[in-house]
Structure 1
Amino acid sequence: MRDVLPWLLLLLVLIGHGGLHIAIYNRINAIGWPRKVVKGLTKFFLLTTIGIPAVALASAMDPLRTYLSGQGSWNVLPVWIVTYSVCCLVSLLVLGIPWLLSRPHLASDRVRAPRDVDVIDVRQHRSGPLTLTSKASWQSRMPMNQLLQLSVERVELPVIGLPPELDGYRIAHLSDVHLTGDIHPEYASFAVEKATELKPNLIALTGDIIDQRSCIDWLVDIFSPAEAPDGCHFILGNHDTRVVDSWETREAMDRAGWIDLGSQVMPRTLNGVACELIGNEHPWYARPELTPGTDRFRLLLSHSPDQFSWARRHGVHLMLAGHTHGGQGRLPLIGPVLSPSFHGSRYASGQFYRRPTTLFVTRGLGGVHLFRINCRPELALLTLRRMEASGP
């Protein structure tokens, strides 16, 4: 046991080191700072993820060998290594326990919702290739990459406080299209047309539509076929700031027949019920001002699930979000690890409830990183179901 303990502590230190850097990565990418600043910090902490263990190994090889052989205590190691190791062990407890409790099978605020899943390989519905660049071509052929396998998911979503008239109301939820020029626009067109075929009452798009200005010309062709009796509504996300004038994107979506909810509160009547449709693009754009104490049913489109607390404070009944891509990859049992959120991967995807708000987070359609490991792109058809109040 004495020989095993040093190796066990080293393993725990390395896990704590990796977990600390993952937590930093997730939270840096949730901040509304300029893209260059975020990318610079991300690269710096990627460097320290590799560099700190490498420097420790190179500068203290003999003391580490002595310690791991069981012939010496922590005292043989340099002070900075001992100090940093203690920080890693503390972070393993402080960050690791909440992370474990937020796993999909353990999370107390996760809501059970029946799903009917239909997976469509979009490549089989087009005669030509869907990849437009060599990068996209070889990455799409990577083993286990589900990049172009669209998962159409019909979800019976329980919503606390849902008016009886809205029981059975259907919302097609899209997000994170990420038009980069790597994937043919027919991929996004297929998803939009499929959303219309599902015959929803309303279609919602929760941001990150475009990454390259040259793709603005695609928007009308992609999105104009969408139809729903109560309209097609959209907001923008952080990647939409990459187009210098975001109004170009908004105007193109307007020409496609979509309704811009960005930073707005829009009174609407849905199935005879007085509602407020709300768009929250914070922290990349302004948040709307809401009046307290309304009797209207509040439906919020938010790019990031980090606005969950804001939604709860403002009496939102149902919040739809994207941004996190389901973690882009999911480990068996453990679920997602990387997720650009202040909550880490807690709200990477799925349905949650914290009084008085039900939150649904979609995995989205695309991404700048052209891989999806055990995490298919998602088009969700949400059928709202009335439930009695319960939960935290």
Structure 2
Amino acid sequence: MGKTSSPDTQTIHQEPSHRRLSRRAFLALNGAGALTLLSAHGLLLEPRSIVTETLALPMKKLRTGQELNLLHLSDLHIEKFSAYHHDVIRKVNTPQAEVILITGDFIGEQRNLPAVREFLQQLKASHGIFAVQGNWEYWGRVEGENLQRAFSNWGIELLINQRRDIQIGDLALSIAGLDYPSATDTLTALHRHMDPARLNLLMSHVPAFEHHRLDDRIDLILAGHTHGGQIRLPLLPPLHLPRFSDPFVEGLYRVGPGIPLYVTRGVGTSAVPLRLFCPPEITRITLHGP
């Protein structure tokens, strides 16, 4: 009989069929995955995740218990009317504001005025809808008296360096629209004709202009243009702001002799259809007596 062979007692380690990821490769892979998720969020979700911001401001010109409810929109940049715009309209019209104020940039690169009309004609405010032009209206060459007439047909009063006086109960309200671009002499002339006895609101597409030329006749300034930076990173300043923005980004500021200036992030997007850590906004503002 032949000898029975005994097993080798030495442990044999076989080379695995795949190598473990290095720490650097693992981090790179996870970073790429996170970047993909952020890009998808910034492209697909956040640009259509509109937020309603609320702001309450005391006004010396209002008596105790008196209120005025405003709704502020800006930077629509409508390329085509979509389900997103239906959602915006639903949030704007419930509950219904007394006055809607829109601070410019209605169109996008397509200059789609029929889509803008479809949006604007569905807005409702018990005491009127007022607007100013933005830089995109000028770039798209749809600005001026022709646009003013079109807006009037759609139920919107487009103010081009003009003031409108309205009466809401016993409240005397004036709304002034500073056109883009904001020339110093135009601002001075518009300001000069504001009645200090009335509650005076000033709309401007851009937030950065010569506030020091104003006095306490102006009770509130509303602006847009910045998009809040549109693409933001946590704890860091905006990557980009358009001209006539700095130092204003979003939210409430005090300018000139202490006039409140509110800068909205706006409804749409500009240049790229992305928002990141900077959701679109409609703003409900309640002005009340002290």
Partner of 2:39: 142
1:262 to 134, 156, 160: 160
Structure with more of its chain in helix, by fraction:
1
Q: Which residue of 1 aligns with 2:72?
A: 173
> In structure 1, what residue type is equivalent to 2:266?
G
Partner Cα separation in structure 1 for residue 40 and residue 142 of structure 2? 38
Of residues 138, 145, 165, the one that matches 1:241 is: 138
1:292, distance to aligned residue in structure 2 (A): 6.1
Answering whether residue 254 of structure 2 is matched by residue 353 of structure 1, we say yes
Q: CA deviation at 1:278?
A: 0.2
Q: Report 1 or 2 for greater relative contact order, CA contacts < 8 Å, sequence distance ≥ 6.
A: 2
Contact 1:175 1:205 in 2 (8 A): yes
In structure 2, stretches of 5+ residues that fail to align are 1-35
Q: Deviations over 1:188-241 (max 9, x none)?
A: 343133211221111111000013465112232211121111111111100111
Larger Rg: 2
Q: What one-letter code is carried by the residue in structure 1 that aligns with 2:284?
A: L
AA matched with 1:229: S
Shift of 1:331: 2.6
User: Can you give the 5+ residue segments of structure 1 that lack an aligned partner in the other structure?
Assistant: 1-138, 388-392
1:185-264 map, 5 Å: 185-212=82-109, 214-246=111-143, 247-264=145-162
State the secondary structure of the residue aligned to 1:269: strand
Q: Is the 8 A contact 2:194 2:200 kept in 1?
A: no
Contact 1:193 1:225 in 2 (8 A): no
| Residues 55, 286 of structure 2: 8 Å contact kept | yes
1:373 pairs with 2:276: yes
TM-score by length of 2: 0.74
Instruction: State the number of aligned residues.
Output: 245
1:305 aligns with 2:204: no
* Cα separation, partners in 2 of 1:194 and 1:293, compared to 1, 3 Å: closer
CA RMSD of aligned residues (A): 2.8
Match of 1:190, SS state, is helix
Distance 2:228 2:142 in 1: 28
Alpha-carbon distance in structure 1 between the residues aligned to 2:165 and 2:218: 14
2-structure distance, mates of 1:168, 1:311 = 28
* Contact residue 212 and residue 242 of structure 1 kept, 8 A: no
Name the CA distance, whole Å, in 2 between partners of 1:267 and 1:248: 23
**In the alignment, is residue 275 of structure 1 matched against residue 173 of structure 2?**
yes
1:300-358 residue CA offsets vs partner (Å, 9 max, x unmatched) = 111111136167347311111100000112332334342224562x3211012233411
Q: Cα distance, 1:377 vs. partner?
A: 0.4
Seen in structure 2, the aligned counterparts of structure 1 residues 342 and 224 have a Cα distance that, compared at 3 Å, is closer
Shift of 1:249: 3.2
Matched, 1:339 2:241: yes
Q: 1:377 to 1:259 in 2, by over 3 A?
A: same
**Percent of aligned pairs sharing the same letter:** 24
SS in 2 for 1:143: helix
